[in-house]
């Protein structure tokens, strides 16, 4: 049911909302509720007189009061619950508060606190958000969308809850992830919350604790698998295409065996991408571009070792490979520069059960016969660093301290300025710390992590840690793809995003070893990336034909601001 319509007064050019709700219904709608900010005229016109106290309070004051109440919560989970309660009462106020304190509140609304919230979602959820699609209701997907009170859906963030962060299968309790990603799309990218929809595909769970829990609210059946799962996903995607034909679909926190197949199967059929693969890879690529600017080298001059070949590790490898191809290297030459490792060591063609995402980066064992190994028959990380003379080392393993002093020393011996990315979250899972890199490389290392770290100051000067956070990339990519009316997202659009992000690192920041710009200006960063993505979509035949100036204007105009609009009643129909 349509609850409002955006209008522009033809005489005064004033933007306003024509609102179809009144009284308690209006106060109970989180998209339209203004709380004490309703003007006295609006209170009278919309039947709100007597439903609130007398004083009119502007959004800035409401935000300050909400922040003060938030500060009274001394537990991060309680802060999360408070913020979700605010979101469920007044979305505009929630985003005003979040945007104003984004750097501080990011760890609350998303990682790491959202992981704990997902683990307890069935007990802390006060109001359902988004939609839940199950095998029992998939045939009713059109009616489900008909029941939404949102005018037009531009973004769908979907998970099936099987690989929530590093926590595994949380079933439908994983809904906290799509909700959190929507929060970031709005706060960082500027998408209108009225056009964003979080979705959970509740296809069951193999988590025995959830199956045996009286509190768990999801489907208590083993997960759909194989052909049944594929058929379910197909029905879901077709439902999205019917009901939201212009929407962007973002796949989020699927198990890796499904994630790569879904991306391959649907990226040509529907505007979609996987942030765990493509967003992670694009953010890391941007940091690498900056690192090599500082070093004065090309990608072809470096040797890359990536440890952990899940979605994030594979995403990094794919991005590095594409950059090497852009520099003109052949597949054979690329193979000599990217070395991927997983739990069984270096990925080779003769490994048993070689997974889908590893195949492109597998080495031929015959080419390695002259390598010097610590243990014959097994090629570990130290063997790879030693024999390849690696200059770049990236880890996404969640194995604390994997990059020990010996590993870091070997990297420092291979190049004057080794590039070390310890990307596992949270900080307790980081493969090494900035202090380790600083000490072993004598402050020469270029370091990025998945979590924020304070700068290291010591005898070798100051070393900064760049946080390789996907939030740098995905809001801008999504906004750019939507504004450009793209019908697909390809690697060139992510390339454009990576280069645009690196371009925002100032010469002074680069000189200090910073590989990514300060996140304080994330709205501006997202707009800059969106413009680059929109231009790429246009230039590659995927997006609308418009001039650079027009695309830039479209992007900034599309960025929603967390402010209250004036409300008017619908005009009487004659």
pLDDT band of residue 554 (cuts 50, 70, 90) is very high
* pLDDT at res. 573: 52
Residue 217 near residue 238, CB atoms below 8 Å? no
Query: Is a pLDDT exceeding 80 seen at residue 426?
Result: no
Q: What is the mean pLDDT of the chain?
A: 95
DSSP 8-state symbol, 172:
G
| Angstrom distance (rounded) from CA 513 to CA 446 | 6
Assess whether 110 carries a catalytic annotation. Answer: yes
* pLDDT at res. 357: 85
Report the CATH fold assignment for 278-568.
Rossmann fold (3.40.50)
| Number of alpha carbons in the 13 Å side-chain half-sphere of residue 486 | 33
Query: Is a pLDDT exceeding 60 seen at residue 556?
Result: yes
Average pLDDT of the residues in 471-496: 96
Q: Give the pair of three-digit tokens for residue 315.
A: 């995403």
| Angstrom distance (rounded) from CA 55 to CA 549 | 44
* pLDDT at res. 574: 41
Instruction: Note whether 4-57 and 104-270 share their fold.
Output: no
Residue 567 near residue 46, CB atoms below 8 Å? yes
Average pLDDT of the residues in 122-145: 94
Q: What is the pLDDT of residues 139-154, one digit of tens each?
A: 999 999 999 988 789 9
Average pLDDT of the residues in 162-170: 90
E strands, 335-493, in order: 338-342, 345-346, 392-395, 419-422, 446-449, 456-458, 461-463, 465-467
Domain boundaries, the chain: 4-57, 104-270, 278-568
In this prediction the pTM is 0.94
Report the CATH fold assignment for 4-57.
Hemocyanin, N-terminal domain (1.20.1370)
* pLDDT at res. 165: 84
Which residues have CB under 8 Å from 121's CB, separation 6+? 170, 172, 173, 174, 175, 176
* pLDDT at res. 429: 85
Burial of 498 (0-12, 13-18, 19+ CB in 10 A): buried
* pLDDT at res. 166: 77
Q: Give the pair of three-digit tokens for residue 515.
A: 């590989």
226-249 residues labelled b (16+ CB within 10 A) or e (exposed): eeebeebbeebbebbbebbeebbb
| Angstrom distance (rounded) from CA 481 to CA 360 | 27
Q: What is the pLDDT of residues 22-67, one digit of tens each?
A: 999 999 999 999 999 999 999 999 999 999 999 999 999 999 999 9
Q: What is the pLDDT of residues 333-372, one digit of tens each?
A: 999 999 999 999 999 999 888 888 889 999 999 999 999 9
Q: What is the pLDDT of residues 376-401, one digit of tens each?
A: 888 999 999 999 999 999 999 989 99
* pLDDT at res. 428: 81
Q: What is the pLDDT of residues 173-216, one digit of tens each?
A: 999 999 999 999 999 999 999 999 999 999 999 999 999 999 99
| Angstrom distance (rounded) from CA 532 to CA 368 | 41
* pLDDT at res. 262: 96
Query: Is a pLDDT exceeding 70 seen at residue 269?
Result: yes
pLDDT band of residue 457 (cuts 50, 70, 90) is very high
Single out the residue of 131, 207, 195, 121 nearest to residue 169, CA to CA: 207
Which region among 142-151, 316-325, 390-399, 507-516 has the lowest average model confidence (pLDDT)? 142-151
Query: Is a pLDDT exceeding 80 seen at residue 251?
Result: yes
Angle at which helix 102-109 crosses helix 91-100, to 10 degrees, equals 120
CATH code matching the domain that covers 104-270, chosen among 3.30.360.10, 3.30.70.20, 3.40.50.150, 3.40.50.10380: 3.40.50.10380
Hey, what long-range contacts does 71-79 have (CB within 8 A, 24 or more apart)?
76/107, 76/108, 76/113, 76/116, 77/113, 77/116, 77/117, 77/120, 77/124, 79/108, 79/113
Which residues have CB under 8 Å from 205's CB, separation 6+? 161, 169, 170, 171, 172, 211, 218, 219, 220, 221, 222, 223
* pLDDT at res. 572: 65
Query: Is a pLDDT exceeding 90 seen at residue 111?
Result: no
Burial of 469 (0-12, 13-18, 19+ CB in 10 A): buried
Catalytic residue selected from 4, 110, 216, 438: 110
DSSP 8-state symbol, 53:
-
My answer on whether omega of the bond before 112 falls inside 30° of 0, hence cis, is yes
Dihedral angle sign, alpha carbons of residues 267, 269, 271, 274:
negative
Catalytic residue selected from 34, 79, 181, 256: 181
My answer on whether omega of the bond before 426 falls inside 30° of 0, hence cis, is yes
């Amino acid at each position: 049911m349509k609850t409002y319509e955006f209008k522009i007064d033809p005489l005064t050019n004033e933007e306003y909302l024509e609102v179809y709700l009144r009284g308690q219904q209006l106060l109970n709608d989180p998209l339209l509720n203004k709380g004490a900010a309703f003007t006295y005229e609006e209170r009278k016109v919309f039947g709100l007189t007597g439903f609130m106290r007398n004083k009119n309070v502007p959004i800035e004051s409401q935000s300050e009061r909400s922040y003060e109440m938030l500060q009274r919560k001394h537990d991060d989970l309680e802060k999360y619950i408070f913020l979700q309660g605010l979101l469920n009462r007044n979305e505009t106020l929630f985003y005003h508060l979040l945007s104003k304190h984004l750097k501080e509140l990011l760890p609350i609304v998303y990682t790491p606190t959202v992981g704990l919230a997902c683990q307890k979602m069935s007990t802390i959820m006060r109001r359902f958000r988004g939609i839940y699609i199950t095998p029992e209701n998939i045939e009713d997907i059109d009616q489900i969308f008909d029941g939404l009170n949102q005018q037009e859906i531009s973004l769908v963030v979907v998970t099936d809850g099987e690989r929530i962060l590093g926590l595994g299968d949380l079933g439908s309790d994983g809904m906290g992830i799509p909700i959190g990603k929507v929060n970031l799309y709005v706060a960082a990218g500027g998408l209108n919350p009225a056009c964003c929809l979080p979705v959970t595909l509740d296809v069951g769970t193999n988590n025995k604790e959830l199956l045996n829990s009286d509190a768990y609210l999801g489907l208590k059946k083993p997960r759909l698998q194989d052909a049944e799962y594929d058929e379910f996903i197909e029905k879901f995607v077709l439902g999205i295409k019917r009901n939201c034909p212009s929407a962007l679909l973002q796949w989020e926190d699927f198990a890796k065996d499904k994630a790569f197949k879904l991306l391959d199967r649907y990226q040509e059929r529907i505007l979609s991408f996987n942030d765990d693969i493509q967003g992670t890879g694009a953010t890391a690529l941007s940091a690498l571009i900056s690192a090599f600017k500082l070093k004065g080298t090309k990608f072809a001059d470096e040797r890359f070792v990536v440890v952990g070949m899940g979605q994030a590790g594979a995403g990094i490898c794919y991005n590095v490979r594409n950059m090497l191809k852009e520099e003109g290297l052949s597949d054979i030459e690329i193979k000599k520069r990217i070395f991927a490792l997983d739990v069984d060591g270096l990925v080779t063609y003769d490994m048993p059960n070689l997974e889908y995402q590893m195949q492109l980066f597998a080495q031929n064992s015959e080419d390695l016969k002259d390598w010097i190994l610590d243990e014959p028959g097994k090629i570990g990380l130290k063997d790879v660093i030693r024999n390849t003379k690696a200059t770049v080392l990236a880890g996404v393993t969640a194995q604390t301290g994997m990059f020990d002093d010996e590993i870091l020393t070997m990297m420092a011996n291979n190049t004057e300025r080794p590039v070390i990315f310890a990307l596992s979250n949270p900080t307790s899972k980081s493969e090494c710390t900035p202090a380790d890199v600083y000490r072993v490389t004598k402050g020469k290392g270029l370091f990025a992590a998945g979590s924020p770290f304070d700068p290291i100051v010591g005898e070798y000067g100051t070393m900064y840690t760049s946080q390789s956070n996907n939030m740098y990339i995905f809001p801008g990519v999504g906004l750019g793809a939507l504004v450009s009316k793209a019908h697909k997202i390809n690697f060139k659009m992510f390339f454009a995003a990576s280069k645009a992000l690196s371009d925002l690192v100032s010469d002074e920041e680069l000189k200090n070893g910073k590989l990514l710009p300060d996140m304080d200006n994330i709205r501006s960063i997202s707009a800059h990336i969106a413009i680059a993505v929109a231009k790429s979509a246009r230039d590659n035949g995927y997006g609308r034909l418009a001039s650079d100036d027009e695309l830039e204007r479209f992007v900034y105009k599309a960025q929603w601001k967390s402010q209250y609009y004036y409300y008017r009643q619908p005009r009487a129909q004659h």
